[in-house]
Amino acid sequence: MPIQVENLPAPFVQKMQDQLKDAFPDFIKSLQEQPPVSIRLNPEKHFHVEGTTFVPWTTHGRYLPERPVFTLDPAFHGGAYYVQEASSMFLEQAIKQCVDVSQPLYVLDLCAAPGGKSTHLASLIHAESLLVSNEVIRSRASILSENIQKWGSNNVVVTNNDPEDFKRLPGFFDVMVIDAPCSGEGLFRKDADAMHEWSEDNVILCSKRQRRIVSDVWSSLKENGILIYSTCTYNPEENEENLQWLKQERDVEFLKLKIDNVWGAVEVEQDGIKGYHFYPHKVKGEGFFISVIRKKESEETLRVKNARSNFQSPSKKILEQLQRWVVDAGNIAFIQREDLVQFFPSTLSQAIDILAKNLRLVSAGTFAATVKHDKLIPEHAMALSVRLNREHFSVLDLNVDDALRYLRKETLSITPDQMGFTLMLYQNIPIGWGNVLPNRINNLYPAEWRIRMS
C-alpha cells in the first residue's frame, strides 16, 4: 500500500530533503506509487515466464506486470525463480566487473538470510567455487537453508555463526559480500514496519553494528580479495561514512563500476571512496547502496591442505546406487553422517572439512538420501538439485491443482503404473518425491515446508 507522506518520520524527511535537494519532490512522489514486482530466474532450471520485462543490470532478472500469489505457484517451490527486489540484483555487476568468475573461488555471503544474494551468487560463480552462506539468527538460518535447497546448487555451505567466528579462517575467502543489517529506509514503500521502527538513534546503532561486523570478519578476507558492502538504506551514516571509516582504518582500494546512464544508479565519489545509490524515483526498484572494495593489506592465510578428513564415505553398495542418481558423478564427493548422505564437488572436500571443524554447519552441499537397511530413501533436496539424473527415476507430471495438493501434503488420487520413488514434476520443474504403492501414493513432501494457503 502506498505511503502516506504525513506518516514518514519528520527527521527522515528533513534528512532526505537535505540529501536530494531539488530531486526530493520526485522521491516523495515515488514513495506513493506501487512498488515494482521482480523475480530472478534460476538459469539451471530453464523456466520461462510470459509477459515480463528485463531488469537491465542482471541477466536473469525480470519485472512482472503485477504481483501474483507466489505461494500458490508450484514453480516457485521448485526453485525455478527467486522473488527478489530489482535494485539488489545489481550485485551481479559488482561480481562480473571485479571478480574472475571463470576460476574457482571461496565466497562468503555473511548476512545471507533469506537467500536472495546467495542464490544469485550461486548462479554467477564457477561450479567448483565454494559459497559459504551465513546467518547469525538460527531460525533465519533454517529459512536460508530451505531456499538454498530449492535453488539446487551443490557447492553451497549454510552456516549459523556470528561474524566474529570467521576469525578462525584467516585469509580464507577471495570474495566477501556483506549486505549489512540496516535501518531499512529503502524498504519504506514495501515494509511499513521498517518505517515505524525508524529513528535517528537506530541509524546510529546500525552504523556502529555495521562497523563491528566488518571489523570482525575482515581478517578472513585474503590480500587483494574483494569486499562488496551493501545496505538497503539511504543515509550517509550507514553508507559513505562507514566507507570513510574503513578507508581510515584499513589499506583498501575502492573500485569503479561501469554503469549505463539509463539505469538510473547514482554514482558517489568523495574523498577517495566510491559507491552507488539506487533511489526509487531514479530506478525501477527500491532503495539500495553498494560499494566494491579491494583489500590491499597483507593477511595471514589459512591453507587448505590434505589433512585427515572427519567425513565418512558411504559403503560401496550405497555409493554405486548414488552415483546413478547424479549427473557427472565422477566429480562428486559423497559423505555419510549417521544415516544421511550428502554430496558436493570433490574439489571442495578439504575446504568443507575445515569449515565443519570451525563453524556451525546447517547444511553442506546437497542432502541426497537417508540410508535404511542398505536401501536409499531420496531426500527432498535431491529432487530439487540441478545435478539430479532424471533419467534414473520415474516421473509424474502434475497439473496445477494436483501440484498444489502435493505441496499441501495432501493425498493424490492419481495411480501411476510404475511403482517406487517417483519424481513429481510441474511444468518440467521437479517439486519433490512420491512413493508409488499398489493402491496409493505416499506424499513425501517435507511436512515443515507444506503450504497452508487455500
Residues assigned a catalytic role: 232
Shortest CA distance to 61 belongs to which of 81, 47, 79, 31? 81
Nearest-10 Cα torsion for 424, 426, 428, 431: -50
Q: Is 329 annotated as a binding residue?
A: no
Residues 329 and 378: their CA atoms lie apart, in Å, by 16
Q: Is 295 annotated as a binding residue?
A: no
Q: Is 111 annotated as a binding residue?
A: yes
CA–chain centroid gap for 168, Å, is 23
Q: Is 296 annotated as a binding residue?
A: no
If DSSP codes are grouped into helix, strand and coil, which group holds residue 212? helix
Beta carbons within 8 Å of 1's beta carbon, 6+ residues apart: 192
Q: Is 113 annotated as a binding residue?
A: yes
Q: Is 152 annotated as a binding residue?
A: no
Element containing residue 396 per DSSP (H, E)? strand 394-397
CA distances from 324 to 47, 176, 317, 344 (A): 25, 35, 12, 15
At position 21, the amino acid (one-letter code) is: K
Q: Is 374 annotated as a binding residue?
A: no
Q: Is 351 annotated as a binding residue?
A: no
Can you list the alpha helix ranges (DSSP code H) found in 359-449? 380-384, 400-407
Pairing of strands 252-254, 156-159: unpaired
CA distances from 144 to 25, 156, 170, 267, 337 (A): 38, 11, 25, 31, 21
Residues 161 and 1: their CA atoms lie apart, in Å, by 36
Q: Is 182 annotated as a binding residue?
A: no
Residues 310 and 353: their CA atoms lie apart, in Å, by 7
- Residue spans of beta strands (DSSP E) within 332-374: 332-337, 340-345, 361-364, 366-372
Look at the block and give the residue holding cell 505441496. Answer: 407
Q: Is 186 annotated as a binding residue?
A: no
Give the annotated binding-site residues for S-adenosyl-L-methionine. 111-117, 135, 162, 179
